Amino acid sequence: MRKRCVIVSLAMMFVLGIGSLSSAVSQGDCAEYREIKSRLVRGWNTWNTRSVLQHVLLPEGFAINLAFKQHYWLEEKYLGEALIGRSGKGVEEVRPGFHAYDGSYTCLDVSWETLIARVESATDGEDLVLLVTPAKKPSSPVKLIAETGMLWNRPGLLERNGDHLVARLPRREVKIFVTTPHVADPYIPVKTPHISFFVTEQSIGISTGKSRSLEEIKALVDLRKGELVNRAAQFGELSGAYLAVQAGIAWNTIYEPKGDRVVSTVGRLWNEEYGGYCLFGWDNFFLAYMTALESRDLAFANVIEHLRGKTDEGFIPNDNRGNGSKSWDRSQPPVGGLMVREIYKKYPERWFLEATFDDLLGWNRWWVKKRLNEGLLSYGSHEAQNPFAEPAVRTKRTAGYESGMDDSPMYTGVPFNREKNTLELQDVGLTSLYIADCNALAEMAGILGRKGERRELQERSRRLAKKMGELWHYGTGFYLNRRTDTGEFSFRLSPTLFYPLLAKIPSAKQAKSMMEHFFDPREFYGEWMLPSIARNDPDFLRQRYWKGAIWPPLNFLTYLSLRHYGFRDAQRRLAEKSLRLLLDEWNRKGYVSENYSSITGTGDDSRLSSDRFHSWGALFGIISFIEEGFMPAPEKPIH
């Protein structure tokens, strides 16, 4: 009989010296997950978060890094690493193109100094080919350097043997060949064997395993690109969206050496800043769900690896960083149960629920223990272990971080209560998401035969849903956040106020009233939507960050909410408008932005504060795949 997920008790973990709850290994003890991991941690891909011009072979950690040296009449410059969306004077500009999750084909354009070139890759079994095609001959000489490297202190021997490079690895030997003669340059700032050559107007090919002609390399690249395009074609009119969604996540999917794991991250720039990787509380559940469109393995892995980052208190932190630090004082919106349920619908494998349920249940219980504020939930931040001496904890600012909507006008003027450790605001969006989480986990408990936990979750859902009735404002016809210090309702309107639909709280009459706000052009409706604060709010025109910009998770969660009441016209319009946001920016600049202007519909509007390539931007596209039936219907139960 196959070994199932083994739950290691906390006491036993300490006896064995394994560590704290936050490093629990129960998920990794699943035979099913070990098989997934062995498939993912293998082969050529852009695994190293430090550069999209580096291709790495797993599990060995052998890398081929493409670098460029610019020669001027007086000075020389060197580009050893490249990332998407970097800003500043003289930095590289990378426009990402297609990227298959499995690394079978990748494409990007890089502009730097006098260089403009396209870099493509393709795999052939255990071999890799790279094709560098200049748009034109650089106006000043540029060299392309193929560097070798052994990453993460992995064992291996590297050498140059005449016209090719050799990597002698513990279990195999890899030879690297080029289609252009090597040009010696002793002043290249590289510490490992390499080959360099001048960039002209001609393409340059690099291949492993055997020497291949430029024509053979081009043919293989075209073959793999064609296969990816053909996979996209199965989605009909959404083929372009499929390629954009996959690229938006695949370019940010990395190998994380501390945990010996493959994970999708929000962005490589964030990873660089936070010590190698950063997993965010609600972002990474969304990423796991989106990868389920294409990859069962990656979807399961993204959930399981994200849950490993829980704190000793049992909650998923706001962020979990490569430098060893976490947000020990705060979580983020509870969307984990919802996303796990939807992934399970697409891939109904019982072991996956067994591997994730207890961690999600522990997080669910934490909310009512730490963030219950006079019967409903509020975002907060509390004193906790703080080995990195993070200065901002137990503050209004960190409570805003827990909301995921850091500086939303909803929280303007709302005080933070240091005795309660929460904002003085009963939050419609948070409480609704929490009730929906209870409902999702109750469904899972039913499948797993966890009768006691199912009753517990259903009772908690009923109690909070009844209490939510106090937040219905008859004059507005909307659920409104309410101050707990003054008892007054807040009239700062955000898409989070549609989330009661997701929790199935309103009556049909109330839901119809709520939709008047959705279609009101003074509030949310328009060419570009949904704004993160109503259009008639005094902060809307600022557009910066959560003050009016359009954010992917708000559109996504509102779309899911609409489906639960069958508002077909509204959900169709939101799907179409969201897809247009994604594709216009992708086709125009290759961006998958963190947020978009609700005035111009662009992700590079000067009023915004927006990461140009942020994985959750793909949520704008995944909505249409749900709408067209390529993902399971969110409103349907799992049993």
What is the DSSP track for 432-486? HHHHHHHHHHHHHHHHHT-HHHHHHHHHHHHHHHHHHGGGEETTTTEE--EETTT
Q: What are phi and psi of 25, to 5 degrees?
A: -115, 10
Question: Are 105 and 225 within 8 A, CB to CB?
Answer: yes
Q: What does the pLDDT read at residue 3?
A: 36
Taking CB atoms within 8 Å and a gap of at least 24, the contacts of 575-579 are 575/623, 575/624, 575/626, 575/627, 576/624, 577/527, 577/528, 577/529, 578/552, 578/619, 578/620, 578/621, 578/623, 578/624, 579/241, 579/620, 579/621, 579/623, 579/624
Q: For residue 424, give the CATH number of its domain.
A: 1.50.10.10
Quote the strand ranges of 100-185, DSSP E: 105-112, 115-124, 127-134, 142-150, 157-161, 164-168, 173-178
Does residue 307 share a domain with residue 172? Answer: no
Rounded Cα distance, 406 and 547, in Å: 10
Give per-residue pLDDT as tens, 245-291: 999 999 999 999 999 999 999 999 999 999 999 999 999 999 999 99
Does residue 424 share a domain with residue 326? Answer: yes
Give per-residue pLDDT as tens, 33-87: 999 999 999 999 999 999 999 999 999 999 999 999 999 999 999 999 999 999 9
Question: Are 435 and 468 within 8 A, CB to CB?
Answer: yes
Does residue 470 share a domain with residue 327? Answer: yes
Residues in contact with 326: Cβ distance below 8 Å, sequence separation at least 6, in sequence order:
22, 309, 311, 317, 319, 320
Question: Total domain count for the chain?
Answer: 2
Question: Are 593 and 614 within 8 A, CB to CB?
Answer: yes
**CA triplet 467, 468, 474: central angle to 5 degrees?**
120
Tokens of 239: 């083929």
State pTM to two decimals: 0.95
pLDDT category, 386, cuts 50, 70, 90?
confident
Q: What does the pLDDT read at residue 2?
A: 36
Residue 45 lies in a domain: no
Q: What does the pLDDT read at residue 26?
A: 55
pLDDT category, 188, cuts 50, 70, 90?
very high
Does residue 113 share a domain with residue 150? Answer: yes
Q: What does the pLDDT read at residue 18?
A: 29
- Give the domain-ending residue among 233, 266, 294: 233
Give per-residue pLDDT as tens, 106-115: 999 999 999 9
Q: How many helices (H) and strands (E) does the chain have?
A: 16, 26
Q: In the predicted model, what is the mean pLDDT of residues 74-101? A: 96
Residue 319 lies in a domain: yes
Cα-Cα-Cα-Cα dihedral of 365, 369, 371, 375, to 10°? 100
**CA triplet 570, 573, 576: central angle to 5 degrees?**
150
Residue 638 lies in a domain: no
Q: What does the pLDDT read at residue 29?
A: 74
Tokens of 37: 């991991």
Residue 43 lies in a domain: no
**CA triplet 310, 397, 415: central angle to 5 degrees?**
120
Which of 478, 476, 534, 481 is closest to 506 using CA atoms? 478
Quote the strand ranges of 162-203, DSSP E: 164-168, 173-178, 194-198
Residue 504 lies in a domain: yes
Give per-residue pLDDT as tens, 349-375: 999 999 999 999 999 999 999 999 999
**CA triplet 525, 530, 536: central angle to 5 degrees?**
60
Q: What does the pLDDT read at residue 28?
A: 57
Separation of CA 310 from chain center: 17
Rounded Cα distance, 548 and 433, in Å: 22
Give per-residue pLDDT as tens, 308-365: 999 999 999 999 999 999 999 999 999 999 999 999 999 999 999 999 999 999 999 9
Reply yes or no on whether the pLDDT at 15 is more than 70: no
Q: What percent of the chain has pLDDT over 90?
A: 93
Does residue 480 share a domain with residue 501? Answer: yes
Separation of CA 350 from chain center: 25
Residue 15 lies in a domain: no
DSSP string, 512-569: HHHHHHHT-TTTT-SSS--BSS-TTSTTGGG-STTTT-B-HHHHHHHHHHHHTTT-HH
**CA triplet 378, 381, 382: central angle to 5 degrees?**
120
Range of the domain at 116: 51-233
Q: In the predicted model, what is the mean pLDDT of residues 373-398? A: 93
Question: Are 337 and 285 within 8 A, CB to CB?
Answer: no
Give per-residue pLDDT as tens, 531-586: 999 999 999 999 999 999 999 999 999 999 999 999 999 999 999 999 999 999 99
Quickly list H helices, 184-264: 214-233, 239-250
Does residue 262 share a domain with residue 184? Answer: no
Residue 255 lies in a domain: yes
Question: Are 127 and 221 within 8 A, CB to CB?
Answer: no
Q: What does the pLDDT read at residue 5?
A: 47
Q: What does the pLDDT read at residue 591?
A: 95
DSSP, collapsed to helix, strand or coil, labels residue 75 as coil
Rounded Cα distance, 273 and 278, in Å: 9
Question: Are 75 and 103 within 8 A, CB to CB?
Answer: no
- Give the domain-ending residue among 210, 233, 256: 233
pLDDT category, 392, cuts 50, 70, 90?
confident
Does residue 392 share a domain with residue 275? Answer: yes
Rounded Cα distance, 423 and 417, in Å: 6
Does residue 220 share a domain with residue 254? Answer: no
Residues in contact with 556: Cβ distance below 8 Å, sequence separation at least 6, in sequence order:
286, 578, 619, 620, 622, 623
Q: Which amino acid is at 468?
A: M
Does residue 152 share a domain with residue 244? Answer: no
Q: What does the pLDDT read at residue 91?
A: 96
Q: What percent helix, strand, coil does the chain show, rounded to 5?
A: 35, 20, 45
Q: For residue 90, give the CATH number of its domain.
A: 2.70.98
Does residue 244 share a domain with residue 102? Answer: no
Reply yes or no on whether the pLDDT at 11 is more than 70: no
Rounded Cα distance, 239 and 609, in Å: 30
Residue 294 lies in a domain: yes
**CA triplet 22, 26, 30: central angle to 5 degrees?**
145
From the CA atom positions of the chain, what is the Rg in Å? 25
Which of 630, 506, 476 is closest to 566 using CA atoms? 506
Does residue 299 share a domain with residue 167? Answer: no
Does residue 354 share a domain with residue 298? Answer: yes
Reply yes or no on whether the pLDDT at 4 is more than 60: no
- Give the domain-ending residue among 194, 210, 233: 233
DSSP, collapsed to helix, strand or coil, labels residue 69 as strand
Rounded Cα distance, 235 and 334, in Å: 31
Helix (H) or strand (E) holding 289: helix 283-291
pLDDT category, 27, cuts 50, 70, 90?
low
DSSP, collapsed to helix, strand or coil, labels residue 239 as helix
